Amino acid sequence: MTPNNSFLHNPIMSSLESYLRPALQTAQDALVTVVDSLQLRKDAPFSPNIPKELLESMPDLSGRLLLTFPWTKPRPVDPTQHSVWILDNTAYRVQPGQDKKVNKHKADPVVRVSPDEPLPPPQWEVEYVAAYFSRETCRDASHVIADIARLVGLARGSASEEECLGELKDKLDITPIKKRLEPFLNPILPRHTIRVNIGDVETQTLGPSTSSGISSDLLRLHFDAPAGTQLTTTADIDSPPCWAVPGRTVLAEPTGWGVISDIDDTIKITGTLSPVAVLKSTFIDTPTPVAGIPELYTDLVKLLADPIFFYLSGSPYNLYPFLRSFRKEHFPDGTMILRDASWQNLGGLISSLSVDVKTYKVDRLEKMHTWFPDRQFICIGDSTQKDPESYGEIARRHPGWIKAIYIRRVADENDIQGALDPDRNSNKRFETAFKGLDEKMWLVFDDADEVRRNVQLLTR
């Protein structure tokens, strides 16, 4: 007998549900803040604080953080309910006598895919970063899309949600907007693990994910392969398609050249200095590379004899699929390092690009140095935020590791904060950022050809 659920569709019940849902969500968010705030700060130390004016003006993303108690035991992901991204990475050789804290899962040991083959000593070491999400979107994207449309001027500020969406649909297809927003709306998934197949050679376990939905594991790979080999890491689970984004690992020798590059306004036009421009370039526009930079990076592959690439950005990890697709279309393969994101307001996107960026970037640069201390690197960034100060700091800490620093001078035409930062492109700023470094080591450029010529001289 089919139960009678007609009361669920009663107009009064529907009205009551629409009234109670926001209140219940607010209560859950408050409880998460009380229970998880300290753990979130520990797990995501570089997730920026959001200034009050951004909190009040940007769309709310409540419901992203799920309540997790410290005693909650880790569980394997469920491919029918969850999504996992395995981020691309770069492996380095295990050096003789090297003693690092390597992640081990006693209950889930390394397993050879072909069981008849013995497990050889580890030859490579690599950091695996993965992001975990629940597939159940915490709220309808329509609310956030309407807010963004008002903020960027594609809908009237006084328009209702329905009117905003109608005005927006008259101008463009909103499907890509929904796709880019989804990682900001889906709840993050703490305390979960995933078993992965690495290069169809061995399986290991990643996780558990932290309260911010991220896992970071330093793993040793138990096989020998030549440098330059690329491996694909996939979920070792029979699962529906597209539930897990596979990762790509490149094996790199300890010596040679490397390129460390910023993303926003260095290789991709973002409009970092304007919150409205950031929203528009991130969610509305087709991503556009900075003129001349794709060709420059193609030439760097030849000039630097096939260097490794690291793309170090203040953008939050929620943008990984979007930025990875952009990078794949226009730039050489490389490891993309993005910022923690434990916030529940889209103002966090703006803050990620502007708040405590130097502290975050220097920390990640230090990590790269531990991976490849004997490689020679060039750093490429721009003048909108803290690239000069970050690169200058790491170059002073490790003399000889950074061979050249190139800073793209970003014009002031979109700088709504120009009056507050008149020295952003001044000689004084750059001289201070690179104090103590050879003046021939750094270059502020307006055209990619300037960098190309300088690298040609550097490699002679």
Number of domains in the chain: 3
**Arithmetic mean of pLDDT, 70-97:** 89
Name the amino acid, one letter, at 337.
I
pLDDT per residue over 207-218, tens digit each?
999 888 999 999
Range of the domain at 261: 254-458
Asked whether residue 98 is domain-assigned, the answer is yes
Share of the chain above pLDDT 90, in %: 60
Q: What is the pLDDT of residue 7?
A: 43
Same domain, 117 and 195: yes
Domain boundary (222, 251, 280) is at 251
Q: What is the pLDDT of residue 98?
A: 61
Residues in the chain, how many?
Answer: 460
Q: What is the pLDDT of residue 117?
A: 74
Q: What is the pLDDT of residue 419?
A: 46
Same domain, 223 and 276: no
Residue 293 clears pLDDT 70, i.e. is over it? yes
Q: Among 75-79, 256-260, 325-329, 448-452, which stretch is predicted with the lowest mean pLDDT?
A: 75-79
pLDDT per residue over 343-383, tens digit each?
677 888 888 888 889 999 999 999 999 999 999 999 999 99
Asked whether residue 392 is domain-assigned, the answer is yes
Same domain, 213 and 240: yes
**Arithmetic mean of pLDDT, 236-255:** 84
Residue 103 clears pLDDT 60, i.e. is over it? no
Domain boundary (251, 269, 302) is at 251
Same domain, 100 and 229: yes
Q: Are 33 and 62 within 8 A, CB to CB?
A: no
Same domain, 221 and 96: yes
Asked whether residue 108 is domain-assigned, the answer is yes
Q: What is the pLDDT of residue 44?
A: 66
Same domain, 129 and 148: no
Q: What are the CA-CA distances from residue 178 to residues 48, 173, 174, 316 (Å)?
A: 24, 10, 6, 17
Q: What is the pLDDT of residue 154?
A: 92
Same domain, 234 and 378: no
Asked whether residue 114 is domain-assigned, the answer is yes
Asked whether residue 22 is domain-assigned, the answer is no
Asked whether residue 406 is domain-assigned, the answer is yes
**Arithmetic mean of pLDDT, 417-436:** 84
Residue 443 clears pLDDT 60, i.e. is over it? yes
Q: What is the pLDDT of residue 38?
A: 59
Q: What is the pLDDT of residue 418?
A: 47
pLDDT per residue over 249-289, tens digit each?
999 999 999 999 999 999 999 999 899 999 999 999 999 99
Same domain, 129 and 143: no
Whole-angstrom Cα distance, residue 128 to residue 149?
36
Same domain, 425 and 324: yes
Residue 134 clears pLDDT 70, i.e. is over it? yes
Q: What is the pLDDT of residue 185?
A: 87
Same domain, 176 and 260: no
Domain boundary (226, 251, 276) is at 251
Same domain, 233 and 260: no
**Arithmetic mean of pLDDT, 388-414:** 93
- DSSP per-residue codes, 38-73: HHHHHH-TTPPP--HHHHHHSPB-TT-SPP--TTPP
Same domain, 224 and 109: yes
Q: Among 13-17, 112-116, 329-333, 354-358, which stretch is predicted with the lowest mean pLDDT?
A: 13-17
Which among 119, 46, 124, 61 has a CA at the least distance from the CA of 352? Answer: 46
**Arithmetic mean of pLDDT, 404-425:** 74
Asked whether residue 355 is domain-assigned, the answer is yes
**Arithmetic mean of pLDDT, 36-60:** 70
Asked whether residue 260 is domain-assigned, the answer is yes
CATH number, domain with residue 294: 3.40.50.1000
Whole-angstrom Cα distance, residue 63 to residue 325?
27
Which among 58, 66, 8 has a CA at the least distance from the CA of 342? Answer: 66
